[in-house]
Structure 1
């Protein structure tokens, strides 16, 4: 890793974890290790984060039979299958040179890895030249088991610029979401946030907030938001296969006693049902989840 950008550095200094961040930052490399390649090949889904042609950031979900994402070299992955029709990143993921952040999360094992790179269009899909690859700890990951694959009923259900009452209820019930941010010269990033249902607060139909729980001390997501407030959120309904995607702007907030939270202002909403969606069991909550 060449180094953290100024946003991450500023938060590391403010929180007092700079020395630890230097140590854990050594795990970020442009290389896909054998264990990471094996992990990717077993996964049925991949979360991707990028900007659409208008500059809005989104997080989207790709699914497929295990093997649809695979490492094809020490610094390259290939993804087979296109993004669902109507997805806000459909054009970006069909455009060479798009900077993409990904996170692969396995609810069965509470393992996850992140990879960011530059897109190359390939027959039947795309490839990414890896620039940043690293694993994350299992904190705040809920454990789930796959139940069934549902192959019908795909498509966008609703678009808007604010949450409906049903969408507000879905956000309040969520124990997991994904966030796409911009890492400046390092491209896009995709990360995970988890907690007990209710950890995401609905302040209004156009504004959310969530706590920033203690993590690996890198402060990549919060640092990105400090430098560039654009963000894309993805709330998957694990038990139905429905997806709620939000794009907007987010601001880190620092309270007394070291508490941190993020306030998110919604600009665009897409609700959809993913084709070939995998339905998961009810969760076994992470023992690391703070009580509400």
Structure 2
């Protein structure tokens, strides 16, 4: 389906996002907000923010159209903005990361810069310019800040040299059982990648944070995940993408030991259902059915420690 609307002034939102904004009666307001906050460049605050980060969340799409979310880490300073339209990323290729297949020159990419110890975050999407295997530039398409809602406070430290591999091979699962099911059942945080192909702008990928109380993601029959959607900024980037294109990728982290679970599959938005009431504070639901399940032991060189005051105060 086309994800464009046709008007004299092109909307910063696509049809899937607008449909959900209309559903909640916020379309007119969000049209004004979008033109103001969705920038085609990095403001100075964000140019200074990215070099502080020890990791970045990435969203990519492989050659088969599968969406993937991943986390990649390096010493702070591996992200630099030489100018307002560019973010330089010093990360080596990692062929055992399924998301790496979408990191070739010219590919669309999404990025989420997030500090778990401050609840600051910035979302960015754009296009990869790669001339070497040890890093790439991202030409900014959209950049915008996000509020600190639903982020659990955690302090980090490096457990090993971030340029060294974990030493473990990835393990593919046919079902969500064993270690993958355990990680999802106790998770209070995960990340989701989604995308649309727009008529004029081309492929636009988004990757975002989702947080809740431990166990807020429920595993049902046939490994279908049911996920509550809480009150947010009304951008509907993730759910709008899913409404237009069901492809999505999820990443769950064990913050204590660096394990990473990556899922790719199909999602759907549930706007009206008696089941919504079973999820406290949920305004709607979405479901995700994985078609690929990849577990990577100690994939991340970082370890995080939850704070006593860490849980989000609005959960």
Instruction: Give the TM-score, by structure 2 length.
Output: 0.87
- Between stretches 252-261 and 184-193, larger displacement belongs to 252-261
Q: Deviations over 1:5-56 (max 9, x none)?
A: 1101111111112233224322110110111011101001111111111211
| C-alpha distance in structure 2 between counterparts of 1:91 and 1:232, whole Å | 14
- Which one has the largest radius of gyration? 2
1:218 matched to 2:218? The reply is no
1:173 matched to 2:186? The reply is yes
Q: Deviations over 1:135-179 (max 9, x none)?
A: 100000010111442346343331123212221121010011000
Q: Which residue of 1 aligns with 2:56?
A: 46
Q: Which residue of 2 aligns with 1:262?
A: 286
**Post-superposition shift, 1:74?**
0.7
Cα 1:46–1:274 change in 2 (3 A) is farther
| C-alpha distance in structure 1 between counterparts of 2:298 and 2:29, whole Å | 40
1:103 matched to 2:120? The reply is no
Instruction: Give the TM-score, by structure 1 length.
Output: 0.93
The CA RMSD over aligned residues, in Å, is: 1.8
Cα 1:84–1:213 change in 2 (3 A) is same
Task: Mark the runs of 5 or more structure 2 residues left unpaired by the alignment.
Answer: 1-9
| C-alpha distance in structure 1 between counterparts of 2:157 and 2:105, whole Å | 36
Q: How does 1:234-249 map to 2 (within 5 A)?
A: 234-249=251-266
Q: Which residue of 2 aligns with 1:195?
A: 212
| C-alpha distance in structure 2 between counterparts of 1:148 and 1:4, whole Å | 38
3-state SS of the aligned residue for 1:225?
helix
Q: Which residue of 2 aligns with 1:288?
A: 314
Contact 1:47 1:102 in 2 (8 A): yes
Of the three residues 160, 165, 169, the one matched with 1:156 is 169
| C-alpha distance in structure 2 between counterparts of 1:139 and 1:36, whole Å | 18
> How many aligned positions are there?
288
**Post-superposition shift, 1:202?**
0.8
Contact 1:253 1:260 in 2 (8 A): yes
Of the three residues 20, 27, 44, the one matched with 1:11 is 20
| C-alpha distance in structure 1 between counterparts of 2:42 and 2:298, whole Å | 28
**Post-superposition shift, 1:81?**
1.8
Q: Which residue of 2 aligns with 1:71?
A: 81
- Between stretches 21-30 and 214-223, larger displacement belongs to 21-30
- Between stretches 233-242 and 148-157, larger displacement belongs to 148-157
Cα 1:58–1:51 change in 2 (3 A) is same
Cα 1:59–1:73 change in 2 (3 A) is same
Q: Which residue of 2 aligns with 1:278?
A: 302
Contact 2:62 2:102 in 1 (8 A): yes
